[in-house]
């Protein structure tokens, strides 16, 4: 990846030197799994902190329990984010699926999951909040967002369905279940996006719901493995999705020049939300996370996923202060 990093330095520093790093008024800050840099991810506490820090959207990743409840977890397995291993009553639930040996959320009822306590999965982050939270349902998350009405600008939900194919046996009409959920959320005037890596499922939901769709794209390393390229085409989604959720590595070519992916998406009328910016996981080409955020804002992204929403908001606000100065140059 060395060539990619060096190339990104060239193009992104170039943007900054040109003083075009001004965040657009519609650039949104999306709290990735909540304020997960500070609190265990996908907990009400992490979402609450993100909202209080000013995040425009919080991001719940949804999976499904054995009895059909949608709950927030990034992974289908439980050992890294909960204390399930400390519960002897669940020892026999541990099994191996596709080479992964663990406890899986779809083997538990909601009542059983609520007996678990959450923990910080990243060893580099603080553990002081371990054991305090529980796995939240989507209903609890919606209620949390709704509770801030009138206290601040509306907080939105940027919902992702993880591996919808894995839950077909539990809910054969998951698309309809989600469509009903989105209708209920919209009726509460909560801003909403629905994102998924499964394009077919995403569009299937879009056929029965008015929810704005975001197609997630991770891309792939090219054959030389030193930069990323698209692994699916954007064009089939033109006019069918509201936006694309892109791996930020897709924004730069091998030679360090900016790709045309943002312009292509915008020409389709689609927004671009990029993932993921982390204060404690910098790319080698940046000395600070502020540099990385300024570079991304300058490239014209419409939204940034981050574990540390307060930092992204601070940088965005600092750039907005430059707008009058740049306009008068």
Residues for the chain: how many in total? 329
| CB 304 within 8 Å of CB 27 | yes
Helix (H) or strand (E) holding 201: helix 199-206
Which among 242, 211, 246 has a CA at the least distance from the CA of 232? 246
| CB 129 within 8 Å of CB 39 | yes
List all residues 6 or more positions away from 106 whose beta carbon is below 8 Å from its beta carbon. Answer: 63, 64, 65, 66, 76, 166, 167, 170
Cis bond leading into 276, ω under 30°?
yes
- Beta strands (DSSP E) in the chain are 28-32, 57-59, 61-64, 70-72, 95-97, 100-102, 156-161, 192-196, 213-217, 220-221, 228-229, 243-247, 271-277, 303-306
For this structure, is 32 an active site residue? Answer: yes
Which of 32, 69, 158, 283 is the catalytic position?
32
For this structure, is 69 an active site residue? Answer: no
Q: Give the 3-state DSSP-derived string for 226-271, with helices as H, strands as E and coil as C.
A: CCEECCCCCHHHCCCCCEEEEEHHHHECCCCCECCHHHHHHHCCCE
Which of 42, 69, 74, 283 is the catalytic position?
74
The set of catalytic residues is: 32, 74
């Amino acid at each position: 990846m060395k060539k990619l990093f060096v190339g990104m330095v060239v193009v992104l520093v170039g943007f900054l030197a040109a003083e075009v790093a001004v965040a657009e008024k519609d650039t949104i800050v999306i709290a990735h799994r909540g304020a997960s840099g500070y609190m265990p991810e996908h907990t009400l506490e992490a979402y609450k902190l993100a909202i209080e820090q000013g995040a425009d959207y919080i991001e719940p990743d949804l999976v499904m329990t054995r009895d059909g409840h949608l709950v927030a977890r990034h992974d289908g397995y439980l050992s890294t984010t909960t204390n399930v291993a400390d519960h002897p009553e669940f020892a026999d639930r541990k099994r191996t699926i596709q080479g992964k040996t663990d406890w899986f959320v779809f083997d538990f009822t909601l009542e059983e999951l609520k007996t678990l306590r959450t923990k910080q999965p990243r060893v580099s982050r603080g553990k002081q909040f371990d054991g305090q939270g529980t796995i939240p349902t989507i209903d609890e998350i919606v209620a949390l967002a709704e509770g801030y009405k009138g206290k601040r600008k509306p907080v939105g939900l940027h919902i992702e369905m993880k591996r919808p194919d894995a839950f077909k046996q539990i809910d054969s009409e998951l698309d309809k279940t989600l469509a009903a959920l989105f209708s209920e959320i919209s009726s509460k005037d909560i801003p909403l996006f629905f994102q998924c890596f499964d394009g077919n499922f995403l569009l299937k939901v879009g056929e029965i719901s008015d929810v704005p769709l975001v197609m997630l794209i991770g891309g792939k390393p090219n054959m030389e493995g030193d930069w990323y390229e698209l692994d699916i085409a954007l064009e089939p989604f033109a006019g069918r999705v509201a936006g694309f959720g892109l791996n930020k590595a897709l924004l730069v070519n091998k030679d360090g020049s900016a790709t045309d992916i943002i312009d292509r998406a915008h020409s389709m009328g689609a927004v671009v939300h990029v993932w993921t910016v982390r204060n404690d996981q910098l790319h080698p080409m940046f000395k600070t996370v502020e540099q990385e955020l300024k570079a991304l804002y300058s490239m014209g992204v419409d939204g940034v996923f981050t574990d540390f929403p307060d930092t992204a908001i601070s940088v965005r606000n600092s750039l907005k202060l430059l707008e009058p100065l740049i306009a008068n140059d």
